[in-house]
C-alpha cells in the first residue's frame, strides 16, 4: 500500500495515544500478543508501509527478526544483519536512532535480497536500549518518491521505542521470575509448582490421547546422605535429573516433586511406550552411576506409572495417586528381590 499525503502529526493527540499505549503494552503476558500489539501501535502512531522488529543476539552479534509486516515479509524474516550492517544494524551498533528519507542512496542502508533495488524509500530505525544495553531495534519503512517521515514522526518513533523497550523488558522480567518460581533450584528441572502447572496444560493439549505419568523414587538416598553427606546427596540428585532428561522427548515434562522423588509426564504416550521409557530410566541410572568423592555410587530406583486418556483438571491428581501406588509396589518388590528390576503397572 502506498502512503501519501500524510497529515501533520498532532503531537498533543499523539502523545496522549502514546501514554495509553505504554499502559496497554505493559499489560501483555504473551510474547506473540505483545509483539503484535507493538506492531499495531507503531502503525497507529507513525503510519508506514512495512516494519521490522529484531532482537539482538549478543553472542553472534546479529539482529534476529522476531516480527515483520508489509511486503517481502519472508525475505525480511530471513535477514540476520550484523551490528553496523544496514540502517537497523547501524542504529543498534551506535545505540542511536536514524532517519533516512533517501535510504535508497544512503551508504549505511543495505539491500534485502529478493526485494526491488534502488526504489525510493524512507526508513526510521530505532534501537531498543535498556540500562545502556542494546536489546534490538525497530525499523519503519515508507516506499515511493516523496513518501517521507517528518521530524515529529521521527520523535514519536523514538518515544515509542522507549515504550516498546520497557514492555519487552517487563515481559522478560516477569517470564524470568515465573520460570524461577517454577524451577527447582538444585536440579534445574521443574519444581512441584511448575510440574502441576505444566502437566495440567500438557494433559489438556493431549486431549483424549493417552498420556503417562511416571514417578521415580531413589531407594537408598537417605543412606547416601548419612554416609557421604548432603553435598554428595545434592550432586546425586543433579545427576539423576540429568539422566532423566536424557531419556525423554522434548515435549515430555521432568520435575523434582521433593526430596528424592521425581516425576516424568509423557504426553500422548500409550502404556507400552511408557514401559519402554521406564526401562530406559532404569538402564540410564544403572549404566551411568554417580561418581563423586566417595567413588562410584549405584542409583537403585523404583518406578511406577499410570496412564490417562481424559484431560480434566482432576485427572492429574488421579494419575499421581495411581502412579504413587504403583511406585510403592515396585519398591516393595525391589525390597524382596533387591537386584530385580521390576516395573509395576
Binned at pLDDT 50, 70 and 90, residue 217 comes out as very high
pLDDT value, residue 246: 92
Q: CA 77, CA 74: separation in Å to the nearest integer? A: 5
Domain coordinates of the chain in residue numbers?
11-181, 192-336
Q: Output phi, psi for 306, to 5 deg.
A: -135, 155
Q: What is the DSSP letter of 190?
A: B
What average pLDDT does this structure show over 317-326? 87
The listed range with the strongest mean pLDDT (3-7, 18-22, 151-155, 334-338) is 151-155
Q: Which residue has the higher pLDDT, 265 or 34?
A: 265
Q: CA 113, CA 218: separation in Å to the nearest integer? A: 57
Q: CA 56, CA 61: separation in Å to the nearest integer? A: 7
Task: Count Cβ atoms below 10 Å from residue 223 Cβ, excluding itself.
Answer: 10
**Which region among 11-25, 161-175, 263-277 has the lowest average model confidence (pLDDT)?**
11-25
pLDDT at 48 over 60: yes
pLDDT tens for each residue of 147-200: 899 999 999 899 888 888 888 888 788 777 777 889 999 999 999 999 998 998
Which CATH fold topology does 192-336 show?
Alpha-Beta Plaits (3.30.70)
Q: What is the DSSP letter of 81?
A: P
Alpha-carbon dihedral angle through residues 320, 323, 329, 330, given to the nearest 10 degrees? -130
Binned at pLDDT 50, 70 and 90, residue 9 comes out as very low
**Which region among 72-76, 222-226, 228-232 has the lowest average model confidence (pLDDT)?**
72-76
- Bridge partners for 211 per DSSP: 308
pLDDT at 41 over 50: yes
CB 101 within 8 A of CB 131: no
pLDDT tens for each residue of 108-146: 887 665 566 668 899 999 999 998 999 999 999 998 888
pLDDT at 331 over 60: yes
Give the pairing type, strands 290-292 and 133-143: unpaired
3 state DSSP class of 345: coil
Mean of pLDDT over the chain: 84
**Which region among 79-88, 95-104, 108-117, 281-290 has the lowest average model confidence (pLDDT)?**
108-117
Q: At what angle do helices 11-26 and 151-181 cross, to 10 degrees?
A: 10
Q: Output phi, psi for 330, to 5 deg.
A: -65, -40
The CATH homologous superfamily of the domain defined by 11-181: GAF domain (3.30.450.40)
CB 171 within 8 A of CB 34: yes
pLDDT value, residue 337: 58
Q: What is the DSSP letter of 118?
A: S
Asked, colleague to colleague, whether 11-181 and 192-336 share their fold, the answer is: no
pLDDT value, residue 111: 65
pLDDT value, residue 187: 95
Binned at pLDDT 50, 70 and 90, residue 23 comes out as low
Amino acid at each position: 500500500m502506498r502512503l501519501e499525503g500524510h497529515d501533520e502529526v498532532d503531537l498533543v493527540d499523539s502523545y496522549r495515544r502514546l501514554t495509553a499505549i505504554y499502559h496497554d503494552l505493559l499489560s501483555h503476558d504473551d510474547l506473540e500478543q505483545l509483539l503484535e500489539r507493538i506492531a499495531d501501535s507503531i502503525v497507529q502512531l507513525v503510519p508506514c508501509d512495512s516494519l521490522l522488529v529484531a532482537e539482538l543476539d549478543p553472542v553472534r552479534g546479529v539482529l534476529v527478526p522476531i516480527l515483520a509486516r508489509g511486503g517481502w515479509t519472508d525475505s525480511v524474516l530471513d535477514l540476520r544483519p550484523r551490528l553496523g550492517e544496514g540502517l537497523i544494524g547501524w542504529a543498534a551498533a551506535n545505540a542511536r536512532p536514524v532517519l533516512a528519507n533517501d535510504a535508497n542512496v544512503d551508504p549505511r542502508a543495505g539491500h534485502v535480497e529478493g526485494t526491488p533495488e534502488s526504489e525510493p524509500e524512507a526508513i526510521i530505525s530505532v534501537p531498543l536500549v535498556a540500562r545502556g544495553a542494546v536489546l534490538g531495534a525497530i525499523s519503519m519503512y515508507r516506499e515511493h518518491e516523496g513518501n517521507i517521515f517528518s521530524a515529529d514522526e521521527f520523535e514519536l518513533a523514538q518515544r515509542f521505542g522507549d515504550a516498546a523497550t520497557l514492555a519487552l523488558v517487563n515481559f522478560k522480567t516477569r517470564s524470568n521470575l515465573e520460570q524461577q518460581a517454577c524451577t527447582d533450584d538444585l536440579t534445574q528441572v521443574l519444581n512441584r509448582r511448575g510440574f502441576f502447572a505444566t502437566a495440567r496444560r500438557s494433559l489438556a493439549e493431549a486431549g483424549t490421547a493417552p498420556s503417562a505419568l511416571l514417578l521415580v523414587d531413589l531407594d537408598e538416598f537417605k543412606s547416601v546422605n548419612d554416609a557421604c553427606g548432603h553435598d554428595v546427596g545434592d550432586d546425586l540428585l543433579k545427576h539423576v535429573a540429568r539422566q532423566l532428561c536424557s531419556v525423554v522427548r522434548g515435549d515430555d515434562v521432568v520435575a523434582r516433586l521433593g526430596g528424592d522423588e521425581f516425576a516424568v509426564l509423557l504426553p500422548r504416550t500409550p502404556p507400552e511406550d511408557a514401559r519402554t521409557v521406564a526401562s530406559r530410566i532404569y538402564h540410564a541410572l544403572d549404566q551411568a552411576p554417580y561418581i563423586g568423592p566417595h567413588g562410584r555410587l549405584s542409583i537403585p530406583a523404583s518406578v511406577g506409572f499410570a496412564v490417562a486418556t481424559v484431560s480434566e483438571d482432576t485427572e492429574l491428581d488421579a494419575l499421581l495417586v495411581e502412579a504413587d501406588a504403583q511406585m510403592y509396589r515396585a519398591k516393595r518388590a525391589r525390597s524382596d528381590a533387591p537386584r530385580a528390576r521390576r516395573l509395576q503397572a
